[in-house]
Amino acid sequence: MVLEHRSNLWMIIDFQHVKPGKGPAFVRTKLKQILSGKVVEETFRAGEKIEEVRLERRDYQFLYPDGDFLTFMSLETYEQISLPADTLADIVKYVKVSETVSMLLREGTPLTVEPPVNVELEVTQADPGLKGDTAQGATKPATMETGLIVQVPLFIEVGEVLKIDTRTGKYLGRV
């Protein structure tokens, strides 16, 4: 659910309804600002009015980066749209050309772009793992084809395709 609060758009990440022994009930929430990604905790009292915002989610295909802009194409209308790369955070590190992303729109105006939850990327650079230096669970940095650097186990080598979680940026496994 998305709401307008303090003249910004916020997505509810987590909420908890609290009914203390004394006093009125309230809702403790964790909100994420849609445009900046900033996460804050906010408490709302019972009966407080909040405006819900209707957003549309559509699939777009990432076509190409063009300087400071990223170009996407609607999979329904084939209309192309260019968005400033600096407003889209690290999406370029997770999405390859021709991959499908989800775009949030408010009254036809794009707000943000979300990559798929898991992506498959090829390792382009990884130092050899040195066994014997650790007790267990050792990792090393590996550079993916998009420039993303991920901590991976020592046995991962250049050329392997890995599954990466875009929410946390962590290695999930080999493909």
- Return d(Cα 102, Cα 59) in angstroms, integer: 5
CA of 7: how far to CAs of 10, 43, 104, 107, in Å?
A: 10, 17, 18, 17
User: How big is the CA angle at 147 (ends 141 and 153), to the nearest 5 degrees?
Assistant: 25
Residues of the chain with pLDDT under 70: 89, 130-136
Task: Check residue 72 and give its pLDDT.
Answer: 92
DSSP letters for 73-138: EETTT--EEEEEGGGGTTHHHH--TT-EEEEEEETTEEEEEE--SEEEEEEEEEPPP-TTS-SS--
What does the block give as tokens for 134?
């650790």
Whole-structure pTM value: 0.73
CATH of domain 2-53: 2.30.30.30
pLDDT at res. 122: 92
pLDDT, position 90: 78
150/22 Cα distance (integer angstroms): 49
pLDDT at 80: 92
The pLDDT assigned to 74 comes to 92
H/E stretch holding 171 reads: strand 170-174
Residue 146: strand, helix, or coil = coil
Give, in words, the CATH class of 56-114: mainly beta
Give the CATH class of 118-174. Answer: mainly beta
Q: What is the residue extent of each domain of the chain?
A: 2-53, 56-114, 118-174
Chain centroid to CA 99: 15
What's the pLDDT at 43? 92
Give the pair of three-digit tokens for residue 85.
């790369």
Q: What is the DSSP letter of 8?
A: E
In angstroms, what CA-CA distances link 136 with 21, 34, 154? 48, 39, 11
- In the prediction, which pLDDT does 131 show? 64
User: Is there a shared CATH topology between the 56-114 domain and the 118-174 domain?
Assistant: yes
